[in-house]
Amino acid sequence: MQFPNMNQDMPVADLVKLNNALRKAASVGYQTAAGTTGADAGTFSPLVPQSIESVLASATYTMQHLSLWRDIPKRDVTQTLHEYAVVNEHGADLDPFFAEGSVPATNRSEYERKSLKIKYLAERREITDVASMVGLIGVNKNALAEETEKGTIRLLQRTERALFHADSDINPLAFDGIFKQIEDGASQNVTDMDGAAPTPDLLGEMLGELYAAPNYGIADCIYVEPRIHQELIRQAQAHGRHDQLSIQDSTKLTWGAKELCIMSPYGPVPIRNAPFLYNKWPVPMNVDKQAIRVAGIGDVIPDTPQLDAGPASPPDGASKFTAADAGDYEYYIEAVGAKGVSAVFFAGAAAVAVVAGDKVTFTIKGDGLTNAPAYYRIFRSAKDGGYKTAQLLTELAYTAGMDTAFEDYNAEKPGTSKILAVKHDPGIIEWVKLLDFLRRPLAEVETTKPFLLMLFGAPIIKVPTKTWVLKNCGVNTAGL
C-alpha cells in the first residue's frame, strides 16, 4: 500500500484499504472467533465477514408486521397546531311537513372546530467511522444503510404501537392514540369483554350496532392481534361447514380459512392482523431471560423506583378479582424517562396474596429523585406465577415531587387485547404530518456518525362515534 506524504491527507481509498486490512476498532471489535457477539467486542462485530455465510437473519419483527401505519390516510400540514372542523349534526330533527302557503322551521347544521398538537418522534442511531468503512454481511454492505434501515423499522414499530395506545395524560410528549381518543370521545362505543373470547356473532353484532342510528358508522376493517385472529379461525373450523376445508392438490389439505370476513348490514368486512395492537409485553429481562433486568438503559437513566407504602391487598367493592383469581401476584415497576429507562424494581420484594373482592395498592416514592421519570410501567405476574409470567398491566403518570399511588382492581385482564372496527376514511381517521420522514445528521464530536430518524405528526379520530372498540378480549387456548 502506497502512503502519501505525512503532511498531506490520506486518500479515502487508502484509508479504507488500511481498515479492511486491520479490521479492528472499539465498536467493531477484533476479528477473532470470540469477537463476534457484540457487547464489549463491538456492536457491529457480528456483521463483519469472517468464515460464516453471508446471510443476515432477523430475530425480531419486520415491516410486514406493520398494519395500521401502512393503511391509515395521511395528510400534510404546515403548522404545529393543526385545526380542523367536524360536522356534529346536519340539523335538528324537525318535522318536515308544513301547511300550504307557509314554510317549515329554519334548520341549521352544527359544526365544531377542534385542534391537534403535532408531536415529534425520533430514533437516535450512531455508527463509528471504522464501522462505516468495513463491509458487512447481509443485504446492506454499508453500516450506515444497515442502521438506517433497522432504525426505520424500529421507529415505525414504536409509532404503530403509539397509534393504538399512546396517552398524553401519561406522557406529555406523546399524542393521544386511537383508543384514548375513542374512550374520551365515545365511551359508549367501548365494550368490555372481561376476558371472554370474541365470536363471529359478536363481531357481527358490533358492526350492526355501529351502522345503526345514531352512529351511522361504516367500518371497512376490523383490527385484531394475531392470537385473536387465530381464535376466530379456530371457531370457523369448529362451527363451519365441511367446504371450509380446502384441498389445494392431492397431497395437501388446508385446515382453516385463509381470509376471514364478518358480514355486516352493508357487506363483508375483513379482519386484519395488527401484531402491535397487543401491548401486554413481558417484563424487561436480561438477554438470557433468566433474570429481571437490573440495569437501566439510555443516556439519562431514571432513578430505580422505590416504594413509600405497601403493597397491600385490602377489600374493595369495586374489585374485579373473583374466586378464580385468588392467589399470589408479583408486581414489577420500570421508570421511563425521555432518554432512558430504569432498572426493573420488584415491588415489595414478595408476592401479594389476593382473595376475591380485594384490590392491590402501593405507593411509589416521588420526592428526592436525582433523575425523575416521565411515567411508570407496572407489570404483574400471572396468578401464582413468577417473573417470567409478568406482563405489562398499566402505565402511571409521574408528577414532579409527588408520590404515585397505584391501585389494581383487576380491571385489565392479563393476556387480553383490544379489537378495533374503523373505516379508513380521512373524514374519520388520518395521520397528519408536518414534515416528511427524514434522516438528520447530528454533530460529529467523536469518530462516530450520529444521526436521527425523525417523524413529526399525530393521529386524529375525527368522529369517534363511527368506530367501535372491544377491550379485554381473551382467547380459548389450545394448551400451548
- Interval 177-235: pLDDT, tens: 999 999 999 999 999 999 999 999 999 999 999 999 899 999 999 999 999 999 998 88
Q: At what angle do helices 200-211 and 226-239 cross, to 10 degrees?
A: 110
- The answer to whether the Cα torsion of 46, 48, 50, 56 is positive or negative is positive
140 vs 66: CA distance, rounded Å: 21
Distances (CA, A) of 182 to 155, 216, 270: 24, 16, 21
222 vs 333: CA distance, rounded Å: 33
pLDDT band at 248 (very low <50, low <70, confident <90, very high): low
The tens digit of pLDDT for each residue in 410-460 reads: 999 888 999 999 999 999 999 999 888 888 888 889 888 888 888 899 999
Strand partners, 221: 422
317 vs 292: CA distance, rounded Å: 34
- Specify whether 463 is located in the same domain as 393: no
Within a domain: 358: yes
Within a domain: 144: no
Query: Which pLDDT score is estimated for 469?
Result: 97
State the CB neighbour count (10 A cutoff) for residue 27: 19
Beta strand segments in 145-290, E: 190-192, 221-224, 245-249, 252-255, 261-264, 267-273
Within a domain: 264: yes
Gap between the terminal Cα atoms of the chain: 60
Query: Which pLDDT score is estimated for 31?
Result: 47
Instruction: Please name the helix (run of DSSP H) or strand (run of DSSP E) that holds residue 461, with its range, or none.
Output: strand 448-461
Inter-residue contact 315 to 275 (CB < 8 Å): no
User: Residues with Cβ < 8 Å from 212, sequence gap 6 or more?
Assistant: none
- Specify whether 363 is located in the same domain as 316: yes
DSSP state of 235: H
Within a domain: 136: no
229 vs 157: CA distance, rounded Å: 20
74 vs 82: CA distance, rounded Å: 13
Average pLDDT, stretch 268-297? 90
- Specify whether 404 is located in the same domain as 422: no
- Specify whether 364 is located in the same domain as 386: yes
Inter-residue contact 433 to 74 (CB < 8 Å): yes
- Specify whether 301 is located in the same domain as 275: no
- Specify whether 310 is located in the same domain as 388: yes
Report phi then psi at 84, rounded to 5.
-150, 160
Within a domain: 399: yes
Query: Which pLDDT score is estimated for 224?
Result: 96
Helix, strand, coil share of the chain (percent; to 5): 25, 30, 45
Query: Which pLDDT score is estimated for 25?
Result: 46
348 vs 331: CA distance, rounded Å: 8
Q: Which residue has the cell 444503510?
A: 145
Within a domain: 111: no
Task: Give the domain-ending residue among 408, 432, 461.
Answer: 408
354 vs 144: CA distance, rounded Å: 52
**Which of these ranges, 74-88, 175-189, 252-266, 356-370, has the smallest mean pLDDT?**
252-266
Greater confidence, 441 or 41?
441
Q: Is 289's pLDDT higher than 90?
A: no
Tally DSSP H helices, then E strands, for the chain: 7, 25
Greater confidence, 253 or 310?
310
Task: Give the domain-ending residue among 373, 391, 408.
Answer: 408
Within a domain: 236: yes
Inter-residue contact 44 to 26 (CB < 8 Å): no
- Specify whether 262 is located in the same domain as 314: no
Inter-residue contact 133 to 43 (CB < 8 Å): no
Task: Give the domain-ending residue among 363, 380, 408.
Answer: 408
Within a domain: 35: no
Query: Which pLDDT score is estimated for 333?
Result: 96
- The answer to whether the Cα torsion of 333, 158, 422, 429 is positive or negative is positive
Query: Which pLDDT score is estimated for 1?
Result: 45
Q: Which residue has the cell 374520551?
A: 184
Average pLDDT, stretch 130-141? 70
- Structural domain boundaries enclosing 327: 297-408
Q: Which of 175, 102, 90, 88 is nearest to 462 (CA)?
A: 88
Instruction: Please name the helix (run of DSSP H) or strand (run of DSSP E) that holds residue 207, with its range, or none.
Output: helix 200-211
The tens digit of pLDDT for each residue in 47-94 reads: 555 444 444 454 555 566 778 888 899 998 888 888 888 887 777 888
User: Could you tell me what percent of the chain has a pLDDT over 90?
Assistant: 52
Tell me which amino acid residue 436 is. Answer: D
- DSSP letters of 287-356? TTSSSB--S-EESSPPPPP-EEEEEE--B-TT----GGG-EEE-EEEEEEETTEE---EEGGGS-EEE-T
Q: What Rg value do the Cα atoms of the chain yield, rounded?
A: 27
pTM for the structure as a whole: 0.82
The average confidence (pLDDT) of the chain is 84
Tell me which amino acid residue 466 is. Answer: K
- Specify whether 395 is located in the same domain as 446: no
State the CB neighbour count (10 A cutoff) for residue 129: 16
204 vs 219: CA distance, rounded Å: 11
Q: Is 141's pLDDT higher than 80?
A: no
All 3 cell numbers of residue 443? 454533530
Query: Which pLDDT score is estimated for 395?
Result: 96
Beta-strand relationship, 221-224 and 267-273: parallel
- Specify whether 324 is located in the same domain as 380: yes
- Specify whether 360 is located in the same domain as 338: yes
456 vs 118: CA distance, rounded Å: 6
Q: Is 270's pLDDT higher than 90?
A: yes
User: Residues with Cβ < 8 Å from 62, sequence gap 6 or more?
Assistant: 153
Domain count, the chain: 2
User: Could you tell me what percent of the chain has a pLDDT over 70?
Assistant: 81
Q: Which residue has the cell 345514531?
A: 214
- Specify whether 301 is located in the same domain as 396: yes
pLDDT band at 27 (very low <50, low <70, confident <90, very high): low
- Specify whether 263 is located in the same domain as 182: yes
